Amino acid sequence: MGSRGSPFPFLALRADPGWTSAIDRGPCRLHNDFVLKTPTLILAAFLAGVLFVKAQSAPPEVSRESRLLIQAALVEFDAKNYDAALDKLRALDAKMPDDAFIQNLLGAAYTKKKDYATAQRHFDKALEKLPDFFPAKFNVGELLFLQRRYAEALEYFQKMQQKDPRNELLQFKVFLCQLQLGNKEDAAKSLKNIKCPGDTPAWYYGQAAWESKNGNNKKALEYVTGAQYIFGPKTALFDETFQDLGIKLR
Looking at residue 18, what is its pLDDT? 30
The domain ranges of the chain are: 48-147
Q: How confident is the model at residue 108 (pLDDT cuts 50, 70, 90)?
A: very high
Query: Is there a contact between 137 and 163 (Cβ–Cβ < 8 Å)?
Result: no
Looking at residue 39, what is its pLDDT? 29
Q: Residue 119 contacts by C-beta under 8 Å, 6 or more apart in sequence? A: 106, 107, 108, 110, 111, 139, 143
Query: Is there a contact between 135 and 167 (Cβ–Cβ < 8 Å)?
Result: no
Radius of gyration of the chain (CA): 19
Looking at residue 78, what is its pLDDT? 86
Looking at residue 30, what is its pLDDT? 42
Cis peptide upstream of residue 201 (ω within 30 degrees of 0): no
- Place domain 48-147 in its CATH homologous superfamily: Tetratricopeptide repeat domain (1.25.40.10)
Nearest 10 degrees: CA dihedral of 33, 39, 44, 50?
A: -30
Alpha-carbon distance 214 to 57, whole Å? 40
Alpha-carbon distance 177 to 77, whole Å? 27
Looking at residue 136, what is its pLDDT? 95
- Tell me the per-residue pLDDT of 181-232, one tens digit each, with 9 for 90 and over: 999 999 999 999 999 889 999 999 999 999 999 999 999 999 999 999 999 9
| pLDDT over 90 at 109, yes or no | yes
pTM attached to this predicted model: 0.77
Rounded to an integer, the average pLDDT of 119-139 is 96
